[in-house]
Structure 1
Amino acid sequence: MKKLSLTESYHKNLHVRRDSYPQHHNLWHYHEEIEFIYLAKGMGTLFVGDCIQSVAENSCVLIGSNIPHYWLFDGDYLHKHNPIDCIVIHFKPNFLGEDFYQLQEAKSIQQLISNSSRVMYLENCDAMFNDLFAYIHEKSDILKITKLIESLHYFEKYQPQMLISENYEVYTHSLDHKRMNDVINYIKDNYRNKVELDALASLAKMTKNSFCRYFKQKTGKTPIQFVSELRVAHACRLLKSSDMNLKEICFESGFNNFVNFHKIFKSVTDTSPKQYKKLNTITTI
């Protein structure tokens, strides 16, 4: 897993960029800086800690220090003719100084920064977030800082959900980023087909038992759980955005039979595929 050092070329406390192509995202990595992202355009899957989360446009994510993560955008957004629009803010946990968090008025921000270790996710953000992030990206005056505080304030007020389980442990990551990224990329390219444990272990140059322990330590999941949840995330996107029927979505997502698809989908989302589609279908009159 690769540790990214943002402080070598960026401002030591705060850096903002706007991405139209996910070259910075499709890498299993971690860094000391907190990552605050507003996704204005794009769809895909976020792998973070022990969570696999479908993400869509108008969503915000707050990722704590040294939490491993990987963004997998849908194939439609990997071409320059259909760019993503994503504003990424990196800042040190104490970028405002330790004394700032002693202020009574700053306690909610302090709690939010603490909770970022669980990774916070907010979907269906209103236009205010787009305006705030755009200002932070475009300006260089002191209001850049106050707008970031304002963004964090409203993000906390909208009660984002926590993605990572409470018992997830952040291990001291070894410098084996190539091994982990090779495995993740293989799964990303093949999850809609049959993914063999032998192939993953061989790619990692490990025995099957050693690889399973290694993978569980890095992601909080077994390889089978990881692949299944990635398939479910893909199915969720299809249920929201396509006209395919349930059986077509089942096989398109990599499941080999409908019974297995229904069982795993419900275990991950707490609802059936049919119910999920109904809840996420917008009815027009």
Structure 2
Amino acid sequence: MRAFCEKVITPTDASWRYHKYLMPYLPFSWHYHPEYEICLTLNSKGMRHIGDHIEEYGELDLVFVGPNLPHTWQSEANQDGSEQIVYVAQIPVKWLDKLARDHKELQGLLPMLARSLKGIKYSKECAIEAKALFEAMDNAGATQRLFLLLDLLDKMQHDSEQVTLSTPMFAFGKQMEQDNGKLNQVIEFIYQHYTDNLYADQLAELAHMSTNHFHRYFKQRTECTLTEFINRLRIGKACKLLVTSSSPISVISDQCGFNNVSNFNRRFLAFKGCTPRKFRQQLINHNLIN
């Protein structure tokens, strides 16, 4: 599951790209690009993948994706046949970084821009405000769209409920290749094989390190242990299967690479705060209510 690099074309009359997508469903399209991206997804529910973070999403999903952070949303067609809406603002890094640095009024954006390397999810209230701004962009000229973008960034900056999503170094591109080439290779291998049996000495050899050095290096660069990183991916896949399939818990445990159901239940509880069975039941109850 290797991410591809998307080429973003900026319009000739603007410094950044705005687009509104109307789609019957959102296909899995694992990609990255060197631009910042603000993405608002409406009338859609499915699974959101941001770096190593995998989570169910629903209506009014507002996320800020940093440069070279791989991402995709995935959904099925709506039962009523209605179109799913995705608003996107893709912003060149040099332009936005310079704008924020050079203007005192915008320097408060800098910490959020740095955190976007992990991906940031915003509250429903912030997403509602973003919806109004994106809708206004639809009929606005280039100058007015710029003012609306700055307003949107300001509202995102002040959202007290924003949360980061991925581990910090899960990114592609030149910076990753220069500073973390060894880690880049290892993470890609993990992402392709995380449901298999993976061993630290195997990955250390891939990075041309001793096993002890590799453990320290991995923890320093990703802010989590190798086991935590792999289990995060496995639990993310489990959440997806619990949402999209009726397979027994034991089958999902095997599909996600856990050696037994007890271990799966324990790891799931540690990451999600409930057991897999309760997680699925909560979704069923939520769907019945809605």
Q: Distance in 2 between matches of 1:192 and 1:137?
A: 43
- Is residue 62 of structure 1 aligned with residue 64 of structure 2? yes
Q: How far did residue 265 of structure 1 move?
A: 1.0
Structure 2 match to 1:267: 270
Q: CA RMSD for the aligned pairs?
A: 4.3
Structure 2's unaligned 5+ residue stretches are 77-83
Tell me, what secondary structure is at the counterpart of 1:280? Answer: helix
Supply the AA of the counterpart residue of 2:205. S
**1:14 and 2:11 correspond:** no
The structure richer in helix per residue is 2
C-alpha distance in 2 between matches for 1:74 and 1:183: 25
The question of whether the paired residues in 1 share the 8 Å contact of 2:241 and 2:252 is answered with yes
Distance 1:254 1:85, change over 3 A: farther
Q: Per-residue deviation at 1:155? A: 4.0
- Please name the residue that 2:114 is paired with: 117
Aligned length: 257
Identity of aligned residues (%): 22
Q: Which amino acid aligns with 1:46?
A: I
Matches within 5 A, 1:27-66: 34-39=36-41, 43-47=47-51, 52-54=53-55, 56=57, 58-63=60-65
Give the secondary structure class of the aligned counterpart of 1:284: helix
Structure 1 residue 255 corresponds to structure 2 residue 258 = yes
Alpha-carbon contact 2:54-2:236 (below 8 Å) kept: yes
Report the residue type matching 1:117 in the other structure.
A
Please give the TM-score of this superposition, normalised by the length of structure 2.
0.66
Change (3 A) 1:72 1:199: farther
Residues 213-267 of structure 1 show CA distances to partners (whole Å, capped at 9, x for unaligned) of: 2322321122211110111111122223322232222222221111111111111
1:225 and 1:60 map into 2 onto residues whose CA distance is 26
* Amino acid in the other structure paired with 1:141: A
Give the match for residue 233 of structure 1.
236
Counterpart Cα distance in 2 of 1:124 and 1:241: 24
Amino acid at match of 1:262: N
Task: Name the SS of the counterpart of 1:89 in structure 2.
Answer: strand
Q: Tell me, yes or no, if the aligned pair for 1:56 and 1:123 is still in contact at 8 Å.
A: no
* Structure-1-length-normalised TM-score: 0.67
Q: CA deviation at 1:18?
A: 7.1
**1:268-283 alignment to 2 at 5 Å?**
268-281=271-284, 282-283=286-287
**Structure 1: distance between partners of 2:186 and 2:73:** 17
Cα distance, 1:59 vs structure 2: 2.0
Higher RCO structure, 1 or 2 (CA under 8 Å, sep 6+): 1
- TM-aligned CA distance change 1:47 to 1:244, over 3 Å: same
- Structure 1 residues 200 and 39, CA gap change in structure 2 (3 angstroms): farther
User: What is residue 221 of structure 1 aligned with on the other side?
Assistant: 224
Which residue does the alignment assign to 1:104?
Answer: none
Partner of 1:149: 150
> In the superposition, relative to structure 1, how do residues 280 and 183 fare at CA in structure 2: closer, same or farther (>3 Å)?
same
